[in-house]
Structure 1
Amino acid sequence: MHGLKIGNKVKVNVKNGFMVGEIVNLYPETFLIRTDEKFSAYVPYSSEWEKIPSSKKLENKKRPKHYGDAEFDLIDYWCARYSKEELRGAFKSQLSKYADRLGYKDDEIDELDKIIDYSTRYRDHLKKVAETNEK
């Protein structure tokens, strides 16, 4: 259905702005989202919405305080500045960190989401580099 899956994050335009939520169910004419504030809403596919890539930052206030309020994303910085070997090392370090501490530090689902995010972003970067080199 429109390329959506349960677990995807979406931004939905509403009368006074927008809301961001995670898809919890898909139906023939609508999908159900739940926001971080635990508000649920049925959204018609015909409404104005967009899927949010895992790497897209919408609001700095939703970031953990220890990240600061910088305007740039650290992983985007790595991809732009690091050599191929440095970048591979940075991603391998992060992936192994979250895998090694799985179940010991934070919620396991949150840790798995971090592993998925790092893996997805590295894969997407490698695809982008491959496409650029083909041209």
Structure 2
Amino acid sequence: MIGLDQLSFKAVLFIAYQKSGKTYEQIANESNIPLSAIKKYFNPNEEYHPRPDHIITLSKVLNTTLLVDWFVAHVKVEQNHNLLPHLITKELTDVINEMMKALEDGELTLFERQKLVKEVKEAKEILDKLEKALINGEFK
């Protein structure tokens, strides 16, 4: 099986697109990213890549962690623990932001709870990596 570290970002982006089942138009509408940019992002013949904030937005719209997972695979977080605090901050901020949005109306719907569980799991994965690094004396 080919790992994410062996694929190009464009390939992973296209896999995420295919798995979503969404059209370019749906992605553009849901992400507020211009359709022309969406078409360039997913065109294998274009050397045009989404900027970091668009990668986060696309991950949410495509309902995937593949894009972030690709970066983690290439950075090899297990060997470069200096990135863990930044990833932890990002994940915990995502949890807090989702919680604040969900509680705006004073109740948690099933969809909001599911979204929060997803965010908490993502944060927990990063925290587990930090815990492992600390236990093994790998975090400096």
TM-score in terms of structure 1 length = 0.39
Q: Which has the higher contact order (CA 8 A, sep 6+)?
A: 2
Task: Name whichever structure is richer in strand by fraction.
Answer: 1
TM-score in terms of structure 2 length = 0.38
Task: Name whichever structure is richer in helix by fraction.
Answer: 2
